[in-house]
Structure 1
């Protein structure tokens, strides 16, 4: 039996309009159009303009497309760090961001807390760091840093660039993009699309920093350097053949989300998260992994299940629901539940009712 409702946090449940958009794409030959055609330029523009509207991007932000969020980690370090970056590490993915900076021979600094915990506003940013890397929503643990924490970093070090990993939280968070410089995500989570497309939002400060490094003779990459991506983006193009189908589907789904209304999406996300957290708090065998309620993610909810993990998993699968496994060392003791725009209130009510029984 293939579960009909996919609660894994990525790849997750497809947005409910994707199937129709895929049919339309194949009918119109989208997967094989030239990436140098006017038709493709219109697709790029629709996706970029849609994201500007949905997320409220300022005019000084630019929409770039890559192969994945993993790639964007690398590009951020290559393009925006000459020597030193600071990384807030509280899970597997924030740790990987730090490790990539090490692999690229920079001199990264990390501030680390145990998994399941977050950072408070008393943290001090060391002098001299060029870039601050923050994972807004740690997919491995379900910890979400409030945006105000990120804005405080800008207040401390206004000269440092701030790069925000929002892979498993967008489009839910209502960021003030004037207080950060780079935000990125991949489409197989909150946007409910097949994997294979990274979206990198950068402002003019990022472009200027990359150009400064390039002028110093520092290698910042080749085809996917910020200057290369930006120059092509001005023409609604990519440096090479991109994931045309993925960008087309993103444009269509973003359009659907705009019609639905971002405020509606955010309210429904909060309602569903409240339902599940209350169910976990009241359950005799399960509990929320993140103890601090102010740090609990609204979009990736992690349950401590202990020795009951397998039993709960089989119960949900028997009812047509696929939970996400715990991550890494928590694989056998936790379950993770995606709470993305494609997950309906009715699906979450069914999930909660099933867990209660």
Structure 2
């Protein structure tokens, strides 16, 4: 099966070999405070800085998931309350989760602005230009959920103080690990708050990663596989060019630009069979998740036919659960696989 599910999504085929290496070399059996495992963590952090062009003064830690990062931001970096403008289901979930931990006292006094850079539920994104405007208008910390875009497109890291992403999307790895990146200002805020009551308090995490250790027994296999994948992938500037070109091709495909697609006017002569891009404004469209809408019947029929053809399309999510399908545009997916899906959609 070829999967275009937007997370967990396709892993790089080499990951199976990397997992075998970790077992054969005893990596998965190393004590997480041993010199051998610390070397793996150190190299993984170094490669993240190098391959994703993360500034040297930004700190990196590895945790279990992006959801855990929501918790870390709320408990370790929020003094009074956080502000959560959102455009989809995951931004809303982050707000709801954060407010359970740190109930909003006054949003006018919010000291952390929380943004989802790439909203997986509906295929929208916050551009670096928009993020720069937020940076100009908001004087306190900015935290960015970049789950569906980190390692797929390039960021201006200076535009936020906290960035995080799980690895089961653009990193091309199995779920169970997340990358947390935080600025000197974020660390200063954590020190000011002084929250150190949890196993995942940022101060405790930072204390450990400063020594290339982890505060708890980690996903050692996941960290090793992340290191190996980072060794194989090109720098993010090159990856981004590929991602954006593929995104442009997908959006042109569904717009019927210069093609004989029946998708623009409908998959059959019946108007109810038409499908269209969910997001009309090109400036808001995600580079890494393409969302396509249609009637419930049409979406269901396309997904079933695709499955029978050996292709897994992403289900809709939240408000768009039954009226959209989503296509992952992640680096591990090959041009050949994209061609197969396009051919299927043309012939449907």
Structures share fold, TM-score greater than 0.5: yes
Q: Which runs of 4+ in 1 moved over 3 A?
A: none
Residues 35-184 of structure 1: pairs in structure 2 closer than 5 A: 35-107=32-104, 126=108, 128-158=109-139, 160-184=140-164
Contact in 1 for aligned 2:315/2:326 (Cα 8 Å): yes
Could you tell me which residue of structure 2 aligns to residue 302 of structure 1? 291
Could you tell me which residue of structure 2 aligns to residue 211 of structure 1? 191
> Please, which runs of 5 or more residues in structure 1 have no aligned partner?
111-125
Contact in 1 for aligned 2:154/2:237 (Cα 8 Å): no
Count of matched residue positions in the alignment of Structure 1 and Structure 2: 331
Contact in 2 for aligned 1:98/1:108 (Cα 8 Å): no
What is the Cα-based RMSD across aligned positions, in Å?
1.5
TM-fit CA distance, 1:180: 1.2
Could you tell me which residue of structure 2 aligns to residue 202 of structure 1? 182
**Equivalent of residue 229 in structure 2, options 253, 259, 275:** 253
Q: Distance in 1 between matches of 2:105 and 2:32?
A: 37
Contact in 2 for aligned 1:275/1:349 (Cα 8 Å): no
Determine helix, strand or coil for the equivalent of 2:84.
strand
1:340 correspondence with 2:330: yes
TM-score (normalizing by structure 2) = 0.91
Q: Distance in 1 between matches of 2:330 and 2:153?
A: 12
TM-score (normalizing by structure 1) = 0.89
TM-fit CA distance, 1:22: 1.1
1:237 correspondence with 2:213: yes
> Please, which runs of 5 or more residues in structure 2 have no aligned partner?
257-262, 267-273
**Equivalent of residue 31 in structure 1, options 28, 31, 55:** 28
Residues 184-214 of structure 1, C-alpha deviations (whole Å, 9 max, x = no match): 0001111111111111101111111111111
Could you tell me which residue of structure 2 aligns to residue 291 of structure 1? 280
**Equivalent of residue 279 in structure 1, options 235, 253, 270:** 253
Q: Distance in 2 between matches of 1:40 and 1:288?
A: 46
Could you tell me which residue of structure 2 aligns to residue 117 of structure 1? none
TM-fit CA distance, 1:165: 0.5
Q: Distance in 1 between matches of 2:298 and 2:249?
A: 21
TM-fit CA distance, 1:14: 0.7
Q: Distance in 1 between matches of 2:218 and 2:124?
A: 33
